[in-house]
Structure formats: C-alpha cells, structure tokens
C-alpha cells in the first residue's frame, strides 16, 4: 500500500496502539496535522496552550498508564519548547516518543525560517534520537523509537522528520507490534547482542548471593526507587519488604512502589527524608536499593552514606552501578523479575528489635495547627480524607511536592506523578491533564505551589476546552517556598527575588478560564471547597493559604551526613 509519510506515521502510531497525542501544530508539521483529521476517533489529539504543556501531558500520560506517551511539535521553537519536557522525562525514565518535523530537505542547513538542529539539541536529554530524511525508513524508525522508549530502562526518544518526508509516498505494510522484533531496524538491535530473541536471564548466582546476605543480616533496610514504579513491581516489592521484614524507605520517584500504609514504610529518605528513614539508613547493616540511582538528594554524602552497611544495588541499567555510590553487590535485571526470583527463594525473616528501634523515630512530621493559615499536613490530610483512595496526584516542584510525598500514602505505580530528577517547576498541570486523559475513571489532583502554578497555568484552557476535571490545589505561601527555605536557613534570611507578592488572583484566573475557584485558609472551608469541586465535575482551582515561612521538615543540607538534621 503506497502512503504519504504523514499517513505512514499515523499507521505506525496505530501499530503501537497509540490513541492519544498531545501537541501543537505549525508550518513544518502541517502534513501530519492534515493526516490527523482522517484518523480522528482512532487517534485523539489534544491541543495544548504551549508545547511545554504537551510535553508534560504526554509524560504524565505515560507515567500514569505505563503506555508510551506521544507529543507532537513543529520545527524550531516548537521543538525547543519541548526540551524541558524531554529532559524531565529523561531524568525520570519516562517512556515518551516526541515527534517534531523539521524544514524540508532543500532548506536544511540554510538557517531557514523556524529551522534548528533539533536532534543536536535533544542529544543529551533523550535515550536515543533520530532524524528521518528518507520516507522509506520512516516506519522502521518509528517502530525502533517506540521499542527503545519502552524497553529496558524506559526513556524519551525523539524523532525529527523532514517536512518533505511527510509528503513523499512510500510503500507501507502493516506489521503487528509483536512481530516488530523480527522486522528491520529492531531486528538488527537484537541480533547485535543476542544470539536469539530472548530476554537475557538474570544471574542466579547473583540472586543466591543476595539471599545469603539477607539471611545473614540483622539490620536490613530497603529503598524503593523509581525503577520499582517503572517496572510496576509494587506487589513484588511489598512482598519482598514483608519477607525481609525490613524498614523500607521510598525515594521521590519510588512513591507508589511501596504501599503507603505498609507497616514497614518509613517514608521518604534523603534531604527531606523522615527521621526514621535516615536514621535507619545510617544504622543498617544491609542496604538493598531497588531501581534507585543514589542521587545527591538521597545519598547526600556518598562517603558516609550507609557506612555500616553492605550496599546492594538492583537495577536494570548497568551504568548506574557504582556511579554515585560504591556498592558491594549488584543484580542486573527488571525489578519485577529480580524481586520475584528473590521472593521465591527467601524465607520469612524477623527483625522486630531492629524495627522497633527504627520506628521509635517519627515517619512523618507534625505541624502546629491553628492561626489564620493552613498547615501543609492539614491540607494533605484533608484532601486524602475526602478524595478516593486511588486518586492520582501530580505535583509541581518545591515545598508542596515534598509535603505531598511526605503526607500522602501512595499505593500503586503511577499514583504519584512528579518531576523528581529534573525538578521541573510547571510540570504538574500538564502532567495532571495527561494523567486524567489516560485514566478517565480515576480522580486526578494537581498539587502545586503558587510559583510553579504561575509558570504553566495557561494549560487551564486545555482543561476547560476538553473538560478534563483536574482539581488543582495551590499551596499558596506567596513565595518561592523552597528557595525561601534555603534563604532562611543558609542565606541569613536574605530573601532575594523569592517573594511573590503579586497577581494574579488565582480564583479569578480560574474563572477567567471558565473554571471554578476557591480561596481557603481554614480546614472547614477547604473541606467545603473539595466537596464542591468534586461535585461539579469540572476543572477547579483551590487556593490554599499557607504561612510564608512554613518549612519542609526535616531537612538535611546537601552534601551533609544523612542524620545531620538542620534545626528548624
């Protein structure tokens, strides 16, 4: 069947079961948008306010559904506007295929209108990227891009298609996804490293060695990282935690990998980790980290991190081993498979005394209530009490993000959607929209700070137009809270350029977008607003007033020993 490049792209998306795209049209991608009309109903396109919003929406869609997200953009500024979203997805290993079109072949390299070396720009922030200059290679490239995005350690892949390629005709043959591994480019990827098309086996000796280490350990501790979430290995991880009977901390990306109410949970670890987590880490004799890369926010001081412990690293990506922390043992494999193998071989351990020691320290921070503002815990607890338990929480970046992870209990992968690695302010609204589109039956809330919300609040129009009922909670302290916290603690209260004593009025802003808004400063009003927001079934903004000097507690300074809690 002879099809145009644009049609081939659409057919390839259907091969991948893609039914949702977020994007923004423009000059060079016009052929693709022209073709999109023919596929309406099978492929739904969501027009965002800005390409960055589209990039975060595709990311949020991917994280919450486990499927590959797709975002479209045009050349030049379209592609560069995607970059923040691409880097966000890259740092958090989220499978998204970003597709942009570039100027036609005869204009490439001439500094043409809206021309930019987009594959060059995307190079350090994608798992792999391709420029398609030949329509005969388009289908193969798209198949390869999706395979790479979703396999191994997932990540974003960028495809740049020249405009003339989208118009040129080529022979296209439908190949079902399960047969892609035998087709074209993907086949070569297999054959290169593997004699046959099988998933390589996990090393049994490595597994047995860890089982032995667990049996010998008296004070084991587990860390649940983003790898558990990406592998959707939450059931296996919970079972593992129960079998080892170990205190278990989560990283920011690990939220949802461990059941929030499992009695082994010590909460978050690291800079804003709970006392229980950080003290356990400092005292354990065996630390098993699953799908976690020991970032500088977790292993604050690599030299003294878990210094009494043998450190075991389970990861799918071999290049993470010994990158930030020197480990004593590692197992390479998908978290789900590794944990399943471990669980089969493990006998029930018991570490009551060790657990009693760890859980004598608090796993959550208590805030003093009262006054004319809300406390972070109050907001989180009130929300948690009123919304369904499986509500998806998308956050922006800053204090509110830490509070959300500290005080909400996440039970399954994809329930917490947050920019952990790249720390992208303005991520949340787009991500929440993507999550809601991917999970129409679940409630989705967006937790934001006033600073983060102001960055990309333009996506409220997307929410309104497509009737995507996301409830935004702004933790409004009229300041860039996290930066102010550092200024408070480290910069002698020199509040340089962090005070946001300015508009807009978020309630009026919501109304201007045709949505609903409330401003609340006490629990009763908050409850009322939440109930009304849930009832109205439309996009809402609830502006929760917090004290300007409220801090995320506890806190350990960057590079400090993990139990050197600051006096706050």
Partner 1 sequence: MDNMNDVKRQTLAMLVDNEPGVLSQIARLFSRKGYNIEAFAAGPTENPGVTRITIDVMADAPHTELLCNQLRKIYPVHSVKWLNAESSIYRELMLVKVRAETSERRNDVMQLANIFRAQIIDVSLQTLTLGISGDADKLSGLENILREFDILEIARTGVVAMERGTATINDESKERGEFSYGKNVL
Write out the catalytic residue numbers: 51, 113-114, 163, 482
Q: Where are the alpha helices (DSSP H) in 220-351?
A: 226-230, 234-244, 275-283, 335-345
Subset of 158-187 contacting partner 1 (CB under 8 A): 181, 186
Alpha-carbon span 426 to 449, nearest angstrom? 9
Determine phi and psi for 538, rounding to 5 degrees: -125, 175
Residue with tokens 């081993």: 321
Helix then strand then coil, in percent of the chain rounded to 5, is 40, 20, 40
Draw the binding track, 13-42, toward partner 1 (x: CB under 8 A; -: no contact): ------------------------------
Residue 19 or 317 with smaller CB distance to partner 1: 317
Subset of 324-383 contacting partner 1 (CB under 8 A): 332-333
Residue 127 or 297 with smaller CB distance to partner 1: 127
Subset of 130-149 contacting partner 1 (CB under 8 A): 131, 144, 147-148
Shortest Cβ 16–partner 1 spacing (Å): 13
Residue 314 or 402 with smaller CB distance to partner 1: 314
- Indicate the SS3 state at residue 480: coil
- The sign of the dihedral angle between the CA atoms of 295, 301, 302, 304 is negative
Question: What would the DSSP string read from start to end of 81-106?
Answer: HHHHHHHHHHHTT--EEEEEEE--GG
What letter does residue 447 receive in the DSSP assignment?
E
Residue 319 or 352 with smaller CB distance to partner 1: 319
Shortest Cβ 425–partner 1 spacing (Å): 24
Shortest Cβ 316–partner 1 spacing (Å): 5
221 forms beta bridges with 287
- The sign of the dihedral angle between the CA atoms of 350, 354, 356, 358 is negative
Shortest Cβ 272–partner 1 spacing (Å): 28
What letter does residue 389 receive in the DSSP assignment?
T
Which one of 34, 203, 239, 364 is in contact with partner 1 (CB under 8 A)?
203
Q: Where are the alpha helices (DSSP H) in 66-176?
A: 77-91, 118-122, 138-150, 163-167
Angle separating helix axes 184-193 and 138-150, nearest 10 degrees? 50
Contacts with partner 1 by CB under 8 A: the residue count is: 35
CB 280 within 8 A of CB 358: yes
Residue 190 or 412 with smaller CB distance to partner 1: 190
Which one of 173, 176, 319, 467 is in contact with partner 1 (CB under 8 A)?
319
Residue 313 or 516 with smaller CB distance to partner 1: 313
**Cis peptide bond upstream of 554, omega within 30:** yes
Residue 276 or 316 with smaller CB distance to partner 1: 316
Shortest Cβ 161–partner 1 spacing (Å): 15
Bridge-based pairing of strands 310-315 and 286-290 is parallel
Which one of 323, 345, 409, 519 is in contact with partner 1 (CB under 8 A)?
323
Shortest Cβ 317–partner 1 spacing (Å): 5
Shortest Cβ 189–partner 1 spacing (Å): 5
Which one of 276, 321, 515, 530 is in contact with partner 1 (CB under 8 A)?
321
Interacting residues toward partner 1 by CB under 8 A: 119-120, 123-124, 127-129, 131, 144, 147-148, 151-153, 181, 186, 189-190, 192-194, 197-200, 203, 316-319, 321-323, 332-333
């Amino acid at each position: 069947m002879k099809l145009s490049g644009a049609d081939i792209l659409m057919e390839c998306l259907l091969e991948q079961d893609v039914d949702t795209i977020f994007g923004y049209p423009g000059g060079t991608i016009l052929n693709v948008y022209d073709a999109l009309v023919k596929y309406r109903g099978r492929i739904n396109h969501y027009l965002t306010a800005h390409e960055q919003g589209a990039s975060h929406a595709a990311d949020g869609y991917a994280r919450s559904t486990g499927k590959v997200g797709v975002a479209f953009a045009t050349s030049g500024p379209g592609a560069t506007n995607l970059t923040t979203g691409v880097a966000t997805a890259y740092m958090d290993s989220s499978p998204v295929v970003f597709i942009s079109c570039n100027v036609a072949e005869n204009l490439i390299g001439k500094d043409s209108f809206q021309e930019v070396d987009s594959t060059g720009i995307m190079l350090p922030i994608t798992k792999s990227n391709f420029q398609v200059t030949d329509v005969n290679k388009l289908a193969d490239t798209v198949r390869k891009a999706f395979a790479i995005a979703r396999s191994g350690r997932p990540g974003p892949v960028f495809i740049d298609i020249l405009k003339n390629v989208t118009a040129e005709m080529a022979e296209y043959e439908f190949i079902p996804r399960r047969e892609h591994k035998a087709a074209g480019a993907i086949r070569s990827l297999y054959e290169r490293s593997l004699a046959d098309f099988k998933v390589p086996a996990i090393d049994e000796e490595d597994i047995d060695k860890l089982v032995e280490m667990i049996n010998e350990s008296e004070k084991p501790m587990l860390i649940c990282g983003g790898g558990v979430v990406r592998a959707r290995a939450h059931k296996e991880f919970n079972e593992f935690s129960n079998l080892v009977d170990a205190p278990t901390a989560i990283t920011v990306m690990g939220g949802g990998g461990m059941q929030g109410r499992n009695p082994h949970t010590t909460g978050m670890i690291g800079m804003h980790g709970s006392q229980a987590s950080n003290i356990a880490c400092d005292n354990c004799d065996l630390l098993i980290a699953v799908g976690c890369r020991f970032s500088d926010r977790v292993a604050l001081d690599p030299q003294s991190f878990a210094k009494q412990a043998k450190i075991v690293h389970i990861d799918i990506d071999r290049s993470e081993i010994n990158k930030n922390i020197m480990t004593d043992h590692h197992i390479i494999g998908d978290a789900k498979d590794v944990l399943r193998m471990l669980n089969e071989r493990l006998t029930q351990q018991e570490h009551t005394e060790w657990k009693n020691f760890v859980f004598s320290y608090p796993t959550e921070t208590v805030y003093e209530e009262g006054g004319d503002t809300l406390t972070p815990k109050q907001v989180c607890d009130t929300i948690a009490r009123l919304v369904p338990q499986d509500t998806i929480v998308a956050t922006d970046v800053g204090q509110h993000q830490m509070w959300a992870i500290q005080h909400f209990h996440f039970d399954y992968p994809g329930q917490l959607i947050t920019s952990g690695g790249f720390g992208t302010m303005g991520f949340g609204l787009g991500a929440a929209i993507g999550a809601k589109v991917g999970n129409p039956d679940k409630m989705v809330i967006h937790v934001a700070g006033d600073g983060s919300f102001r960055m990309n609040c333009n996506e409220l129009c997307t929410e309104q137009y497509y009737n995507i009922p996301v409830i935004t909670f702004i933790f409004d302290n009229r300041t860039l809270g996290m930066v102010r916290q550092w200024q408070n603690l480290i910069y002698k209260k020199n509040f340089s350029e962090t005070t946001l004593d300015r508009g807009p009025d978020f309630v009026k802003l919501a109304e201007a977008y045709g949505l609903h808004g409330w401003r609340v400063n006490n629990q009763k009003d908050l409850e009322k607003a939440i109930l009304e927001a849930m009832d109205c079934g439309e996009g809402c903004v609830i502006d929760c007033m917090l004290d300007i000097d409220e801090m995320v507690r506890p806190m350990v300074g960057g590079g400090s020993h993990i139990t050197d809690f600051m006096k706050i």
